[in-house]
Amino acid sequence: MNRRLQNALVRAQERRHALAADEIAALLALTDPDDLAALHRAAYAVKVRHIGKQVSLRGIIEMGNVCAKNCFYCGIRAGNGAVSRFQLDEQTVLRAARRNLELGYGSLVLQSGEIESEAHTAFIERLLHQITALSDGAQGITLSLGEQSRETYARWRAAGAHRYLLRIETSSHELYTRLHPADHRFDRRVDCLRSLRDCGYQVGSGVMIGLPGQTVDHLAADVLFFRDHDLDMIGMGPYLPHPDTPLGRERAFTPGDAARQLRLGLNMIAVTRLFLHDTNIAATTALQALADDGREQGLLAGANVIMPNVTDTEYRSRYQLYANKPCLDENAAQCRTCLAGRIAVIGETILWNQRGDSPHFFARTAGSPGKRDLTDTAVDNA
């Protein structure tokens, strides 16, 4: 690593938002093992300062694979006739939510394909009331249900959801257009992020990493997008081809690609931690699809959230956004034991039975001082 990048690493640890776009791109492009170790070590130090050696969990419930959209990369896109569609009923989702509570995960995520209808909005609303009642609101609830109207977001917020994850997928308007049909609009996705913030959610977004045609400059712009939208949570992971999609058919994966995708994914986590400091960052399951210990590597590169699957195993294989999804046949109890062991090995502690809200959300809403330090405040006011 040259002297300029070494200085950039030191500066980024001291102050958030302290990297230039070309420095971010250069850090993302690192490949030398010693350089990677230095980058990840620096990011980990920032995580420990703002969050601790702690991991928050959210059990993810994959509620259904019915989707009205046709994103070119996604295995459950409407145009994929090879998928057998399912939608969990109220009782099945509630059973998973209760299981999540009993497992001590503290928060859950409801995710599905995108459906915009009054019937669906009302279904989610009813569910939210019931899930909130299970724990008197103690269990955190994140939604990941795609683009919706501001009114729908407001109704779900009022019914008990308090976090929302909507990935921008890529902050490049041009690349977004190449990855989606013409009626999928980048601007609407950005508008949705604004609506979510206005409705009072903790707002999460993120991108896919290593997309065909995506450069480190695109990824550097993504990191700046995270700052500009003042996000509370980042959920991003490597792009993994699905054979029954237009993008997956265009270009399959080679073993060399997997190593590159993993490295880029980890570098994005590290650089994002170094740049944003106090956001929640997930080590997503896609990392685990590339390496058995991919999520632990993510934690050691600066992530602090893991999302174990709590969906009934019989439905998991029908919710494959990408190929080779891990843990298809491990039930939730097995996942818990496996995860607890893995986290202990890397010397971190799981925050059992805690919501694990984003320190950045509290900092930006002045809800609590969080763990921001005075150096950060000075930069904000500058």
Residues that bind ligand SAH (CB under 6 A): 67, 73-74, 111, 113-114, 144, 146, 166-167, 169, 208, 237, 239-240, 242, 286, 321-322
Contact present, 296 and 38 (Cβ < 8 Å): no
Other Cβ atoms closer than 10 A to 76: 24
User: Which residue type sits at 292?
Assistant: D
Contact present, 261 and 237 (Cβ < 8 Å): no
Query: Which residue's Cβ lies closest to ligand SF4?
Result: 74
Q: Which does 322 bind (CB under 5 to 8 A by kind): ligand SF4, ligand SAH, none?
A: ligand SAH
Q: Which does 144 bind (CB under 5 to 8 A by kind): ligand SF4, ligand SAH, none?
A: ligand SAH
Helix (H) or strand (E) holding 306: strand 305-306
CA–CA distance from 79 to each of 76, 116, 312, 318 (Å)? 8, 17, 25, 15
Q: Which does 77 bind (CB under 5 to 8 A by kind): ligand SAH, ligand SF4, none?
A: ligand SF4
Q: Which does 294 bind (CB under 5 to 8 A by kind): ligand SF4, ligand SAH, none?
A: none
Binding string, residues 40-79; x marks residues near ligand SF4 by CB under 6 A: ---------------------------x-x-x--x-xx--
Position 163 contacts ligand SF4 (CB under 6 A): no
125 token code pair: 């609303």
Position 146 contacts ligand SF4 (CB under 6 A): yes
135 vs 324 by CB, closer to ligand SF4:
324
13 vs 272 by CB, closer to ligand SAH:
272
Q: What is the DSSP letter of 17?
A: T
Distance, in Å, from the CA atom of 145 to the CA atom of 62, rounded to the nearest integer, reads: 10
Q: Using only C-alpha atoms, what is the Rg of the chain?
A: 19
Q: How far is CA 239 from the centre of its chain?
A: 13
Q: Which does 239 bind (CB under 5 to 8 A by kind): ligand SAH, ligand SF4, none?
A: ligand SAH
Q: Which does 273 bind (CB under 5 to 8 A by kind): ligand SAH, ligand SF4, none?
A: none
79 vs 104 by CB, closer to ligand SAH:
79
Q: How far is the CB of 343 from ligand SF4 (least distance, A)?
A: 28
Q: Got the DSSP string for 309-344?
A: B-S-HHHHTT--SSSS-S-TT--HHHHHHHHHHHHH
Q: How far is the CB of 168 from ligand SAH (least distance, A)?
A: 9
Q: Got the DSSP string for 252-290?
A: ---HHHHHHHHHHHHHHHHHHHHHHSSSEEB--HHHHHH
Binding string, residues 101-140; x marks residues near ligand SF4 by CB under 6 A: ------------xx--------------------------
Q: How far is the CB of 114 from ligand SF4 (least distance, A)?
A: 4
Distance, in Å, from the CA atom of 80 to the CA atom of 111, rounded to the nearest integer, reads: 19
Residues of this chain that bind ligand SF4 (CB under 6 A): 67, 69, 71, 74, 76-77, 113-114, 146, 321
